[in-house]
Structure 1
Amino acid sequence: MTQTADAVIIGGGIVGASIAYHLASGGLKNTLVLEKQPLLGMGSSAASAGVIYHHLPEKVNLQLSRKSLRALLEFEDEFETKIDFRRSGCIQTAGTPEDMSVLRNIHEELVGMGVDARLFKPARLAELLPGIVADGLLGAIYTPNDGYFDPHGMIQGYAAAARRLGARFLTSTPAICFMKEGNRIIGVKTPAGNIFTEMVINAAGPAAAEVARLAGIPDFPVVPFKRQIFITAPTKIIPADVPFYFDKTPPFYFRPESGGLLMSIAELWECRNGDLSVDWSSVEILAERASRRFPHMNSLQIMRGWAGLREMTPDNTAILGPVPGISGFFCAVGFSGHGVMHAPITGRIIASMILTGNVEHYEEIDLAPLRYERFLQPKM
C-alpha cells in the first residue's frame, strides 16, 4: 500500500515519539513513525535507568539536561500521563585529581546557568548516603533537583498526544531502503509498501548507522555499546529517597527501584551484533564495588538483570540536524547514554529545525556542537 507523509521518523523509541509529537503540534500532522519492533519503546528506551542529571562535561549537554528537566516537571500536567518523576537528586564522586577537575568545571558551568549544584567534600556525603565509606574520594557534585522517571510513561504520553494531532505509528515495520532522486530523498520502502515523503528523520538509536547507510552514508560515527543493569530484592538497608549515586572511578551506580536498588558497573562493551545476553559474572564486580563503598550492601540479593545498547559517538555528544549533501535527511541519534533524559528537548529542537529552517541555534543553545558537520572537518 502506497502512502504519503510530511515526515517519516525511523525509530519508535522515546526520541522518535518526542519528535513526532513536536512536529505534529507544530503543524506537520501527517507525520509517520516507523518502528521495527511490535511495540513502541522496546529497545534502548526500555533498558534505560531513566535518570536525568547535569553531571556532564560538555556545555551543550548541560544545556540539554537543563531544558529537559524543565519539560519533565511539566510533563504530567501537559500530557495527562504519569511518569513518576522522583526528584531525589544526583551525586557523582571524584576519585582522581582528573575527575575532581572535571567536577569543578561542571559546577562552574552549572552555577553560571542558574542550576542548583553543590560541591561536597567526602565527609559530607554521609549526610545524604548513610553508611558510605568515602575512603579514596576527593569530592563530589550534588544536584538536588535531578532524579529519575518512567521512560515508558513518557513514550506513551508523547505517542498518544501525537496521535490525537494526526500522527501515525506503524509497528513491526522496518525501513528497507530509501527512494531518492539524485541527492534528494523522496520516500521510504517498507514491507507494508512505499511511503512518499521529502523528510526522513533518523531516530533509530543503536541502529543509527544502519539507517544512515540507507541514505548513502557508509561510515556514520555512531557505534552501539552494551551496558548491563541489575535489580536487587527489596531491602531497607538503603532509604527509598536516597539520591542517584555514581562513582566515576571505578564506575558503579545505583538508585532506588521498586523497594530494592537498580545497580550497574557502567561498563561499555562494543556490540555491533545486537547480543543482549547478560554476563552474570559482572555481578561479582558489582558486589565488590558496591560493598567497598557501602559495606552494608554485601547482603543484597540480585533478582534480575538485563542489557541494553547505548549509541555512542566519538565525542559522547548527540548528532542533531540535517546531513549535508542529502536533502531531506535529518538525524537525532548518538546520544551516548543520554537519549532518554534529553528526549524532551530533542523533539523541540528537531521540530524547530524542520519548521523554521534555523539549524544554528535553539533559543540560547548554539547547535554547532551537535551538528553532523563536526565529523567532516579535517583533523589537524
Structure 2
Amino acid sequence: MNKQYKKADVVIIGGGVFGCAIAYYYTRNNPGKKIIVLDRNELCNAATSHAAALVTKIRAKKSFIPLSLETYQVVTEMEKILGESMDMKFSGVIHLAASEARLAELKELMEIAAEFNQPAHYISAEEAHQMSPWLKTDEALAIGYMPDEAYCDPYLLGTFFSRCAKMQGAEFIQGLEATNLIMEGNDILGVHTKEGEIIAGTTIVASGAWAPKFAREAGVSLPMAPTRSQYWITEKDAIFPVNSPIVLLPDAQAYARPEGGSLLFGIRERNSLSVSADVIPSDVKDFSFSPDKGVQDLSEVIDRLARFFPKVYDIGMKYYVAGFSGYTPDNNLSMGVAPGVNHLLMATGCVGAGISVSGGVGLAFAELAAGKENPYDFSAFNLQRFGAVDPFSPEWLERCARARSTKVSG
C-alpha cells in the first residue's frame, strides 16, 4: 500500500492527553501549520480516562515541577478560549509523615515548595483530621499542607486540549489505526494506515502502552514498560467531605482524594504487573488487569493503609479502576528525541504523572516538532540513560514493576 492519504507537518500517533496537548500547543504556536492526531479508538479513552488525575505540582523530582506548573497555566488559558470551566478541584494536598525517613523527605519537599514559590506550611494532627475526617493522624510526626494543589477530571482535561486544538486548526482522526512507521533509511516519513500513508515532516509517538512497538520498528529501545495502575472508590460516607484535600501517605505507599462524597484511593501493591506491549490488545478494555478486581493486592497491604484509614476494613468498595502507565526503573519520564533516527519524537513513559505534567509535555514536544529548542530540561528523561535494554524482556518488565511497587510518592 503506497497511496498517500494525507500530508501534514506533524502526525501524532495516539489521542490521549499527551497527543491532544501537543496538538494544542503546536497549533497555538505555529498558525497555518498542519498537524494530524490519530487514534484507533476514541480520544482520551485509554490511560487518560482511567487516571486518578492528581495534578500535584510539588514533588521530590524537581524536573517534573515546571511541566506541572504549565498545566495549571494552560487550564486557565483553555477555559477562556472555550468560555467554560474545567472544574479543577483546588483542594490542596496533605503530606503525612509517620517515620523518620518520611519526615526527612517531607522537610525536603517543603523546601522545594519554597524554592518554587509555592505555598506550603505544617499543620497539626487535629487540623488534618478536621479537613479529612477519615484520616487517623495519631502516628504523624509531621504533616505538611500545600493549599494550591488540585485534581481534575482527566477526560475533561484531554478533551479541552483537543477541542481548543481543533479550533486552532488541528485535525483529529478517530477510529483509524497507525499500523507502521514509514521509514527510508534513518528517516521517519510518517505512518501507514488502512486508508493510506500519512506523510509528515515529524512523527510523534504518544501511544502510551503501545509505544515500545513503534519504537522497536525504528530500532529504538524505549526504556519503559506498560505497568498496571489501579485504584478503588468507596461507597459514599459523611467522613469523606467533597471539599477535603488530597492525602499522600508515603508510609503506607498510598494516596487518596475525594470523589463526590466517596474516597478514591490507590496503593502500591507488593507485586505490580508489567507486561510486554506485544500482548496488550488494541482496545485496552479487552485486557484483564485483575480477575478479582484487585482484592488480593489490596488484602496484602490493607493493614499498612488501615494505620491511617481504619474504616477501610468495613467501608464498601463501589468501583475498581485499572489502566496502564508507562513505568521506568527510576520513576522518571522516558521521552524526547528518538536516538539514531531522524524526525521521530517519543512522548512516552508517564510513570503515573501524565495528567499532572501534560501541559509541559505538550509545550515541549510542540516546540521540538517545530524545530525549536525544548523549553525544559529533559536530561533526567533521556531515552538512553539505562544503556542497552530490551523493553520486551521479562527482566526489564520486572525492573519496571518493582519500581512501581517500591514507589512511595503520590
Q: Confirm or deny: 8 A CA contact 1:21 1:158 kept in the other structure.
A: yes
Provide Cα deviations, 1:213-251, integer angstroms capped at 9, x if missing partner. Answer: 12221x310111112111222221222211111211222
For this pair of structures, how many residues does the alignment match? 372
Shift of 1:18: 0.5
The one of 220, 240, 243 aligned to 1:241: 243
Out of 97-106 and 4-13, give the one that drifted further.
Answer: 97-106
Q: Confirm or deny: 8 A CA contact 1:80 1:157 kept in the other structure.
A: no
The one of 335, 359, 377 aligned to 1:366: 377
Aligned partners of 1:181 and 1:351: how far apart in 2? 24
Provide Cα deviations, 1:291-311, integer angstroms capped at 9, x if missing partner. Answer: 431334544211121211111
Shift of 1:333: 1.1
Partner of 1:308: 323
The one of 271, 276, 279 aligned to 2:289: 276
Aligned partners of 2:289 and 2:71: how far apart in 1? 29
Out of 287-296 and 171-180, give the one that drifted further.
Answer: 287-296
The 3-state SS of whatever aligns with 2:257 is: strand
Aligned partners of 1:285 and 1:241: how far apart in 2? 30
The one of 26, 29, 40 aligned to 1:36: 40
Shift of 1:99: 2.3
The 3-state SS of whatever aligns with 2:71 is: helix
Shift of 1:169: 1.6
Provide Cα deviations, 1:151-174, integer angstroms capped at 9, x if missing partner. Answer: 111222211222222221222222
Partner of 1:354: 369
Q: Confirm or deny: 8 A CA contact 1:71 1:345 kept in the other structure.
A: no
Partner of 2:310: 295
Gaps of 5+ in 1: none
Aligned partners of 1:145 and 1:75: how far apart in 2? 19
Q: Confirm or deny: 8 A CA contact 2:347 2:361 kept in the other structure.
A: yes
Aligned partners of 1:185 and 1:247: how far apart in 2? 45
Partner of 1:165: 168
The verdict on how the C-alpha distance between 1:113 and 1:236 changes in structure 2, with shifts beyond 3 A counting, is same
| One-letter amino acid of the counterpart of residue 227, structure 1 | S
Q: TM-score, normalised by structure 1?
A: 0.89
Partner of 2:21: 18
| One-letter amino acid of the counterpart of residue 289, structure 2 | L
Alignment of 1:179-218 (within 5 A): 179-217=182-220
The one of 255, 261, 264 aligned to 1:262: 264
| One-letter amino acid of the counterpart of residue 354, structure 1 | A
Provide Cα deviations, 1:157-192, integer angstroms capped at 9, x if missing partner. Answer: 211222222221222222221111211111211122
Alignment of 1:66-145 (within 5 A): 66-120=69-123, 122=125, 124-130=127-133, 132-145=135-148
Shift of 1:194: 1.1
Aligned partners of 1:326 and 1:220: how far apart in 2? 13
Aligned partners of 1:119 and 1:356: how far apart in 2? 45
Q: Confirm or deny: 8 A CA contact 1:252 1:286 kept in the other structure.
A: no
| One-letter amino acid of the counterpart of residue 163, structure 1 | K
Q: Confirm or deny: 8 A CA contact 1:233 1:303 kept in the other structure.
A: yes
The one of 330, 335, 355 aligned to 1:340: 355
Shift of 1:376: 4.5
Gaps of 5+ in 2: 281-287, 390-410
Provide Cα deviations, 1:91-132, integer angstroms capped at 9, x if missing partner. Answer: 222233222222222221220110112244656533433353
| One-letter amino acid of the counterpart of residue 240, structure 1 | V
- Identity across matched positions, percent: 27
| One-letter amino acid of the counterpart of residue 134, structure 1 | T
| One-letter amino acid of the counterpart of residue 137, structure 1 | A
RMSD: 2.4
